[in-house]
Amino acid sequence: MSGGALLQIRDLSVAFGRGTGATRVVDRVSLEIDAGETLAVVGESGSGKSVTALSVLRLLPYPNASHPTGSIRFRGDEILTAGRDRLQRLRGGEVGMIFQEPMTSLNPLHNVEKQIAEALRIHHGLDRAAARRRIVELLELVRLPDAERRLKSYPHELSGGQRQRVMIAMALANDPELLIADEPTTALDVTIQAEILDLLADLKSRLGMAMMFISHDLNVVRRVADRVAVMHNGEVVEHGSAEEVFERPRHEYTRALLAAEPSGQPEPAPRDGGPVLETENLRVWFPIKGGLLQRTLDNVRAVDGVSLSVGRGETLGVVGESGSGKTTLGMALLRLQRATGAIRFDGRDISTLKPKALRPLRRGMQIVFQDPYGSLSPRMSVEEIVAEGLDVHRLADDETDRARRVAAALEEVGLDPTLARRYPHELSGGQRQRVAVARAVVLKPSLIVLDEPTSALDRSVQSQLVTLLRDLQARHQLAYLFISHDLTVVRAMSHRILVMKDGRIVETGEAQSLFRNPRHPYTRRLLAAAFGESADTLDESDSVII
Amino acid sequence: MHRLRIRLSPLNRRRWQQFRRNRRGWWSLWIFLVLFTLSLFAEFIANDKPLIVRFDGDFYFPVLVSYPETDFGGIFPTEADYRDAEVQSLIKAKGWMVWPPIPYSYQTINYDLPVPAPSPPSATNWLGTDDQGRDVLARLIYGFRVSVVFGLVLTVLSSFVGVAAGAIQGYFGGLTDLFGQRFIEIWSGLPVLYVLIIMSSFVAPSFWTLLVILLLFSWTQLVGVVRAEFLRVRNFDYVKAARALGVPDPVIMVRHALPNAMVATITFLPFVLSGSITALTSLDFLGFGMPPGAPSLGELLAQGKANLQAPWLGITAFLTLAIMLSLLVFIGEAARDAFDPRKTLQGAES
């Protein structure tokens, strides 16, 4: 414990609420960051890592939040008792902050110049021309292409990665000594994620700042951290150099977290299966209309000529970045999205069936969505949610049979049947996702489209869900169409993989061989970004412009 | 209160608490409910027939049953006129009768006024009489009832039509929505009051015909909010999940989408209600409303305008309308607070 640390957090506690209803979300956390060093704070959602970071700038909703114990010293100055002026100098001045969601943390009504100028004007009082020179300089520093022209762009005109670069430029505007990055790459695609991480590492070494890096993603942390603090239930359970923590974890929670990476492989698919779902040259085009008569000028080709087949008991992984059309493909296959091209389900062409004729077939093909909070109606109990499909298809003979089937489905997905009376908001994210799976399997379908089912969940919950899905598949010969951008999960789930980019299939093949030796340059790039090595190490001739 | 708690979901219970926290709205609701309940029993409060008659050892209930005068030893086989001195003395001879607190109905004409009608407030006519010698308080009670009942029925019907139209437009979108919106734009561009005046001049005005005519135009109010809500909801994952389950569209609309739209709708309702009441009042004021002789606040206002020398007419009508509409607006505000997710959640924390 040297006295010269840049940021020193001692015995910090954070409580929400007052009186007897108060809950302590951070409990006696001690951390310190030296100048020029990166400390990663790792933990699952609810572990108190973001709250700790926000306390450094006193950005919590006081007085609802309070600090029963502890002190935070930045360069020796106590922050918890600092006055307004000191805090003002701290925020955006000596300490910069990057948030997770670049869309909501930029003001949608301000252009790029105005966003960054705000920080400059408050702290430096620069005039317009000087401010603009500085802004361009900053945008070049964060490698925003075409910096000069981007000054007048609004946030919605930028891509996710570009927005995050603007955020970083804002945080850097006043040469901070400490940068707090709260899940800065979580909302981004893997290849963009890799670029942003490279950028942060580069900036850190060039500008010599310290960084407090909050993340739940161990892959990311491994790439940037000098030291790592692991948080669990509001406490720091392990604290040490990155190498120590990753190679020789001492605390069992850290070990669990490291082992939580979804791993293993699905059981081999039965050979005699035959296709459950087939499609040829499937297209979903959204017309772009213009002109006086609203004539179709061009089309957005969300899905463009995709042919695929999924066999009984087989998982087909669909991989791609956001905007590649993989979700639209899933929707189109279930006829939830208008499309052209043949779709054969169980040998029957369903692409032209009327809704009424399609209804009985819907029983056989189900879907599980990404967001476990949005996919369950908040006003229905778990039992009502799971039983809805039973009622539509009149599968239950009577009330008791219905309750029995619901209980069986809940048990099958590893939930206690007594949860049936609860409402979704009383369940955790993992439990909700299991309810969503139960809603699908209660109908005994032959195909389930899994649209990013693990993306909103913590790693440890992810691997439980992956295990559950593999079990269900083996038991019921389910066919899965597994849509995900997360290659770790896809590798653990899929028999075959299909890589999509801009609505087209760029590569398809057996999962193991595709991971071992990807042929298409885009696939290589994805793999490189996801599994550690920087994309730069690839052969220059292989890289493509994304 | 206890039974209510058990039925409500946790969210609704919080909303109910939030509603009660707005003291003004909470009191307004009670005052309004008491007034409305009283006015529903207007026949027992203001009537030109006694509540109970004891005659010759038998009980009679003239408010509920019509008795011929001959029952009381009179001459005419028509219904007894209990305000007639002759009939009163016949009954007094062999029994007694109990009058309601206000011994006038809305159409009873008080022929023994000391001054020409409209007569000022006095011990017999607490709020005076109108220009035909009818008791203002009695007409007020009946008029209030007609206004509120009319407003409620119109509100229920127009929200039913409006929610259905908004739901269909929002849920199906596309051309349905396009044509629906254009139709509503044109329809609400019509000069409503003139159309109403024209229509009520060749349709015999009555409670139900007026209701239909006003309904033609008032249903559009809720379409916008409900449509917006359905447009949002139809892209929710749980709605997509229901479609994937094969749930038919009407069921999805009612079970999954409608509850989302109900918040906006319920918030709007008190304002729709006060709008409906005002619409009826203005038609009555212009003389195109309820049939002649019917008790109505608008007609009272018109009389106040025609008889400026009798200020009790105008003042009474004005105060009644002002208080009634204020109560409704206060209730509406409290309802809006109750359904405001920010306030409701705050309530949960403390």
Give residue-wise pLDDT tens across range A325-355. Answer: 888 898 899 888 888 888 998 888 888 888 8
CA-based nearest distance B141→chain A, Å: 42
The residue with tokens 């901070």 is A176
Higher-confidence residue: A145 or A311?
A311
What pLDDT score was predicted for residue B152?
A: 92
CB proximity B241 to A under 8 Å: yes
The pTM assigned to this predicted structure is 0.73
* pLDDT for A545 beyond 80: no
Give the pLDDT confidence of A434-474 residue by residue, as tens digits.
Answer: 999 999 999 989 999 998 888 778 777 888 889 899 999 98
Calculate mean pLDDT across residues B326-339. Answer: 87
Q: How far apart are CA A316 and CA A489, in angstroms?
A: 12
What pLDDT score was predicted for residue B344?
A: 55
Calculate mean pLDDT across residues B215-239. Answer: 88
Q: How far apart are CA B348 and CA B350, in angstroms?
A: 6
With beta carbons less than 8 A apart as the criterion, state whether B290 and B349 touch.
no
The residue with tokens 């599968």 is A395
CB contact under 8 A, A379 and B236: no
Bridge partners of A65, per DSSP, are: A16
Higher-confidence residue: A37 or B5?
A37
pLDDT band at A537 (very low <50, low <70, confident <90, very high): very low
* pLDDT for B16 beyond 60: yes
What pLDDT score was predicted for residue B343?
A: 61
Calculate mean pLDDT across residues A231-251. Answer: 87
CB proximity A366 to B under 8 Å: yes
* pLDDT for A533 beyond 70: no
CB proximity B89 to A under 8 Å: no
The set of long-range contacts for B34-40, using a CB threshold of 8 Å and a minimum separation of 24, is: B35/B144, B35/B324, B36/B145, B36/B148, B38/B141, B39/B141, B39/B142, B39/B144, B39/B145, B39/B148, B40/B145
Set of chain A residues whose Cβ sits within 8 Å of the Cβ of B349: 17, 21, 64
pLDDT band at A535 (very low <50, low <70, confident <90, very high): very low
What pLDDT score was predicted for residue B5?
A: 45
* pLDDT for A260 beyond 80: no
* pLDDT for A388 beyond 60: yes
CB proximity A362 to B under 8 Å: yes
CB proximity A287 to B under 8 Å: no
What pLDDT score was predicted for residue B165?
A: 93
User: In terms of Cα–Cα distance, which of B236, B280, B282, B292 is closest to B259?
Assistant: B236
What pLDDT score was predicted for residue A538?
A: 41
Query: What's the whole-number average pLDDT of chain A?
Result: 84
Calculate mean pLDDT across residues A165-189. Answer: 85
- Work out the angle at residue B88's Cα, subtended by the Cα atoms of residues B84 and B94, and round it to the nearest 5 degrees: 155
CB proximity B245 to A under 8 Å: yes
Calculate mean pLDDT across residues A199-227. Answer: 86
Set of chain A residues whose Cβ sits within 8 Å of the Cβ of B236: 374
Question: Which residue of B11, B13, B245 is the best one to mutate when testing the A interface, meaning the one whose CB has the most A CBs within 10 A?
Answer: B245
* pLDDT for A63 beyond 70: yes
Set of chain B residues whose Cβ sits within 8 Å of the Cβ of A331: 240
CA-based nearest distance B82→chain A, Å: 58
User: In terms of Cα–Cα distance, which of A91, A71, A89, A88 is closest to A80?
Assistant: A71
Size of interface A-B (CB pairs under 8 A): 60
Calculate mean pLDDT across residues A513-518. Answer: 87
Calculate mean pLDDT across residues A85-103. Answer: 81
Q: Which of A185-189, B44-48, B255-259 has the lowest mean pLDDT?
A: A185-189
Task: State ipTM.
Answer: 0.71
Q: How far apart are CA B326 and CA B321, in angstroms?
A: 8
Q: How far apart are CA B347 and CA A278, in angstroms?
A: 53
CB proximity B342 to A under 8 Å: no
> What 8-state DSSP symbol labels residue B253?
I
